[in-house]
Amino acid sequence: MNRRQFIEHSLIAFAGTTLIGCIEDNKIPFSKNQVIGCFGDSITASQNGYVRMLQEAFNNTNPELNLRYLNYGQSSETITGLTEKVHPGPRPFLFDRLESELKKAPLDIAFFCYGINCGIYGPPSEELFNTYKKGILKFLDRMKKENVSVVLLTPPPIALDVVSKIQTNAIEDYGYLNPYPEYETEVLKEFENIILSTNHSTIINKIDIHTPLFKNRFECYDTDPIHPNKRGHQLITSTIIEKIGF
């Protein structure tokens, strides 16, 4: 069953019949009662998105492990601390809340998925890329202090050729309502490269969700170019499971 077939079938059925044991080299040795904290922006925060789907998949296939996925996603958040002029107020900044989140429950593993907002939908710059790198390393260093292993996810794409950007005469600057036309190729692809080339002692896996989502973007986006639909979240979930195994 390929990915196109997968997004036309249920996640649980696919996970139960195809993915178990299919990837050995990158398989994470999950142990009983582990807690996995999922940090990210609105794509992670989605109530019925990939975090919930991962929990359901593991409950279905390995209930004896009693793994617990905690959703620490925050809408509009960045790891760069930037905000575009057209955004209604300052964007949330992960490091303003990270300490309080870490006090909620001891974590064994952290999933990390940031980038779509981090360039605030504008053109690329070396300063931007360096700020993004610093945010990633700051998170990794903090997880090291907590003895938490990390799975890095690349940011998802922006599907401007699938869903037209919002047009309004009030927009004078690039932002989430009026993205830089090459934001996908010049910013998000570089963020993807940065994630996949980052090395740190806490990292146990790096997973590219950008490439499969972009390849299947006409099926995975429908209401706006930023947030994947249900099929998109199913594809994120299957991609993660393919890499980490059960």
- In this prediction, residues 63-67 reach a mean pLDDT of 95
- E strand segments, the chain: 35-40, 68-73, 109-113, 149-153, 203-207
Give the chain's count of helices (H) and strands (E). Answer: 10, 5
- In this prediction, residues 7-25 reach a mean pLDDT of 38
189-220 pLDDT, tens digit each: 999 999 999 999 999 999 999 999 999 999 99
Q: Is the pLDDT of residue 18 over 50?
A: no
83-116 pLDDT, tens digit each: 999 899 999 999 999 999 999 999 999 999 999 9
Sorted by sequence, the CB contacts under 8 Å of residue 65 that are 6+ apart come out as: 30, 31, 32, 33, 34, 58
- HSE-CB for 75 with a 13 A CA cutoff: 7
Average pLDDT, whole number, for the chain? 89
35-56 pLDDT, tens digit each: 999 999 999 999 999 999 999 9
In CATH terms, 3-14+32-244 corresponds, of 3.40.50.1110, 3.30.450.20, 3.55.10.10, 3.30.70.100, to 3.40.50.1110
Sorted by sequence, the CB contacts under 8 Å of residue 240 that are 6+ apart come out as: 50, 54, 151, 153, 207, 209
**Rg (the chain; Cα; Å):** 17
Provide the token pair at 193. 């490269």
Distances (CA, A) of 196 to 110, 133, 151, 227: 16, 11, 11, 22
146-186 pLDDT, tens digit each: 999 999 999 999 999 998 766 555 456 899 988 999 999 99
Q: 95-105 burial, b if ≥16 CB within 10 A, otherwise e?
A: eeebeebbeee
